[in-house]
Structure 1
């Protein structure tokens, strides 16, 4: 019988923190905006996360008040609580 290994980003809080690290390393364009494709591309293709883990992590980061997601879904911004995690 084969057992499946635990995925590194199965926990939404861990995925959210990884998304915050990626967003912190990404250059903001204007007014602190970070394009969402720069975050999800890195998470999905370089870190090996799944779309479900990405969605759960982003929802967790927004729910905890670390990131604010624009209503169009095209960019995120750090909130003061999220920015002080890297201060």
Structure 2
């Protein structure tokens, strides 16, 4: 029996890549992208959960694809992250 549908971003790699895709589509302001420009599409448009968002964000930061400002309000692409879309 199958009781629940499979979550689209249960795989952390997929969640991190989706966050990167969203980030790539957003126009940076002064080289920074505000975090709400990432979490709103991921959570509400794409149907991810807060846990999947947090885990995907952490994985992307750990892999060095972008950096999160110490205030937690914005992110910036690193060269490694920008290279994924070049």
Normalised by the length of structure 2, the TM-score is 0.96
Which runs of 4 or more aligned residues in structure 1 lie more than 4 Å from their structure 2 counterparts after TM superposition? Answer: none
Structure 1 position 72 matched with structure 2 position 77: no
Unmatched 5+ stretches in structure 1: none
**1: CA distance, partners of 2:17 / 2:37:** 16
**2: CA distance, partners of 1:44 / 1:4:** 19
RMSD of Structure 2 on Structure 1 (CA): 0.9
Say how many residue pairs are matched: 86
Normalised by the length of structure 1, the TM-score is 0.95
Unmatched 5+ stretches in structure 2: none
